[in-house]
Amino acid sequence: MKGYRLLLLAALATGAQAYGQPYLKLHEQAIVVDTHNDVLSEATLKGLDIGTDLTGKAMSDLTRWKKGGVDVQVFSIFCDDHFGVGSAFRQANREIDSLYSIAARYPARMEIVTDAAGIERAVKHHKLAAMMGVEGGHMIEDNMDYLDSLYKRGVRYMTLTWNNSTSWATSAMDETSKAFTVTPYGLTEKGKAIVRRMNELGMLVDLSHVGEKTFWDAIHTTTKPIICSHSSVWNLCPVFRNLKDDQIKAVGANGGVIQVNFYSGFLDSNYQPRVTRFLHRHRTEVDSMNAAHAPQYAINEYLSKKYPAESDSLRAPMSLVLDHIDYIVRLIGPDHVGLGSDFDGIESPPQQLNDVSTYPLITRELLKRGYKPDDIKKILGGNFIRVLKANEVGKAVAVK
């Protein structure tokens, strides 16, 4: 079905010969979905063209998506907490405009889709199926009409919060911060109404980034399966952005799916101590950027690009991505896990998983760990497509 890609995929054939051809063949048979990539805000709005080779400038471009066998990329529509009422919704639309312009520039290579039928059509015509997810409920500016507008423009998931809380939902960062004193935590009545409206529209409720209280309020409010578009496992790496066992089990009971994040800091519990030592070595520059009120993620990104050899030594081993997948599968089964790389939104991906061309390595390692081909296809993308179908208007399913 996608055999035209085999020559490109063959370039990634590494490791034991016994796993060479089988993993490549399985990878090209699967519908590969990544539910979170930040290249729009991190590259295209800065003038970079994903239709060209961006190696060394970004982790993503059209050639490398094809080389990596990616069929569906959900592009993150993102802006941080510097954007608020009067600017956040406008910035979201600017990024949506950017994606539409790119698709119009490369109609033979990519197509914006909004449902499972669109995915099937794009794959049939050998195009990247481009979808959109809003990362942060602050972009609707407390206005339900803006939510409807984003849906009409093609957005198919919304992360209820980014690291910043809204007036109607508290974030994981804020719920775990001693400095954050706003109460009550969780979803307000307006927040619950927003979740219900998303269910009505067919927009997936994304619970990455949200606080535990918000998570549980949303789980008890939604009537459709949810996603966690780019989250990992708290018990393996106890950071505020990861999911605890009871949350993972709740996603399974809801029929949803957790897409494992590739960020070293969310995979490896030893990553932060390494970063702390790295920042200490460059404390003069850190102090200067702190004085300029630069956010921590911007400081990390700047230093990682300035000191690439040091930054590379901090990265988590690729095996930890598989460990997080294994953990979720052991807890709730293979029907509730997928891939949400966060490429171009992270300064430290795992070793070997350098960019979007490297997804076949995930398939190789899943085979090595004894996963059945049908379960691998679910993890690579089938689980997300199932949840997408369950959320489409007129296709509601009972929540367990």
For position 394, what pLDDT does the model report?
Answer: 62
DSSP one-letter string for 228-272: ETT--BTTTS--TTSBPHHHHHHHHHHT-EEEE---HHHH-TTHH
What number is the average pLDDT over the span 241-257? 98
For position 83, what pLDDT does the model report?
Answer: 94
- The span from the CA of 100 to the CA of 114, in Å, is 13
- Among 299, 275, 296, 298, which residue's Cα sits nearest to residue 285? 299
**Mean pLDDT rounded to a whole number for the chain:** 92
Higher-confidence position of 236 and 308: 236
Please state the domain extents for the chain. Answer: 19-268+318-391, 272-315
DSSP one-letter string for 142-191: T-HHHHHHHHHTTEEEEES-SSS--SS--BHHHHT-TT---SS-S--HHH
pLDDT digits (tens, 9 = 90+) for 312-344: 899 999 999 999 999 999 999 999 999 999 999
For position 138, what pLDDT does the model report?
Answer: 98
- The span from the CA of 232 to the CA of 242, in Å, is 5
pTM: 0.91
Helix (H/G/I), strand (E/B), else coil: 277: helix
pLDDT digits (tens, 9 = 90+) for 162-209: 999 999 999 999 999 988 887 789 999 999 999 999 999 999 999 999
CB 39 within 8 A of CB 60: yes
pLDDT digits (tens, 9 = 90+) for 347-359: 999 999 999 999 9
If you classify domain 19-268+318-391 with CATH, what class do you get?
alpha beta
For position 1, what pLDDT does the model report?
Answer: 44
| 5 pLDDT more than 50 | no
pLDDT digits (tens, 9 = 90+) for 119-160: 999 999 999 999 999 999 999 999 999 999 999 999 999 999
Cis peptide before 273 (omega within 30 of 0): no
